[in-house]
Amino acid sequence: MGERFPADALAGLDAVSEPGDDVAAILTTPRAPVGAELIARLPALRIVSTASVGFDHVDLDAAAARGIAVCSVPDYCTEEVADHTLAFLYALLRGVVALDREVAAGRWDAKGTGALRTLGGMRVGIVGHGRIGGAVSRRLHALGVEVWANDVVEIRRDGVYESPLDELLRGCDAVTLHVPLTPETYGLIGARELALMRPDALLLNTARGPVVDVAAVVDALRAGRLGGAALDVLPVEPPAQPPAAPNLIVTPHAAYYSAAAERRAVDAAVRAVREALAAP
């Protein structure tokens, strides 16, 4: 099954560690990919249920070819990721991480990490204005922030300026990413896009690692062409060597997490399996 889930959530389901001919369901997470080879080995498979928002770790083509249902839990951690995004933004604007490191190194200087800024009056661009992007938008509006947004669908929210991506990158003080990983969003933010941003702008990614060219972000930060970046996700997790640059914050794919969110994800994923196996 790839992951350890709470025993009470799995009550009544037969758990197996090695797939066999009689496996009808897979319960998984992004840390346990379900590829075409595994699907081909399971002739009785009817459903793949992932306790996560995204499902890019499941081979959808292989599942569709067999008529296998693929289910995710798109709304279990909306508030957690939105909160993490705001925490990133505040940490960069107020130099929280850098100042903490200065104090730990024995230096007591409020101006030692450069200019600190305030959030009110800023213009923040949201790329991907769905559930999570919308939750971030609501928080920003409450804090007096001007919000621009870009999405593949029409954005229907008062007070949000719908902008083409390049215009958003040029015009915003900070840009936060909330898009799924698709062929269209893979490498969405690279050297060309970073060059459009203001030298003091901030980039936040709590979406998917491959959406951003991390090497290009590091280069931009080291060259002073970007004001700061905060990444909760990386193309390879965990990284062999974590990226490092001035004013870069990296967290270990933690934006989704709270004990309550984890419980919601597992419960919903298990419920989908139960319903699929109960169907004729």
Catalytic site residue from 157, 208, 222, 262: 208
Whether 178 is catalytic is no
100 and 179 both lie in a single domain: yes
Alpha-carbon dihedral angle through residues 86, 119, 133, 269, given to the nearest 10 degrees: 10
Task: State the residue for tokens 């459903």.
Answer: 47
Expressed in angstroms, the distance from the first to the final Cα of the chain is 23
Catalytic site residue from 237, 263, 271, 275: 237
Residue 149 inside a domain? The answer is: yes
Provide the number of structural domains found in the chain: 2
Residue 218 inside a domain? The answer is: yes
82 and 65 both lie in a single domain: no
140 and 177 both lie in a single domain: yes
60 and 102 both lie in a single domain: no
Residue 71 inside a domain? The answer is: yes
45 and 152 both lie in a single domain: no
Residue 243 inside a domain? The answer is: yes
Omega before 43 within 30 of 0, i.e. cis = no
Whether 208 is catalytic is yes
* Host domain of residue 181: 78-250
To the nearest 10 degrees (0 to 180), the angle between helices 78-93 and 131-142 is 50
Residue 3 inside a domain? The answer is: no
152 and 210 both lie in a single domain: yes
In the chain, where does DSSP find H-type helix?
Answer: 36-40, 60-66, 78-93, 96-104, 131-142, 165-171, 191-196, 214-222, 259-278
222 and 144 both lie in a single domain: yes
Whether 146 is catalytic is no
108 and 231 both lie in a single domain: yes
Q: What is the CATH number of the domain that holds 149?
A: 3.40.50.720
83 and 212 both lie in a single domain: yes
Amino acid at the residue 194: L
pLDDT digits (tens, 9 = 90+) for 191-237: 999 999 999 999 999 999 999 999 999 999 999 999 999 999 999 99
Catalytic site residue from 57, 117, 178, 253: 253
264 and 136 both lie in a single domain: no
pLDDT digits (tens, 9 = 90+) for 168-191: 999 999 999 999 999 999 999 999
> Mean pLDDT in runs of 10 for the chain (280 residues)?
50 53 91 94 96 93 97 96 98 96 94 89 96 97 96 86 97 97 96 98 98 98 98 96 97 97 96 91
Residue 241 inside a domain? The answer is: yes
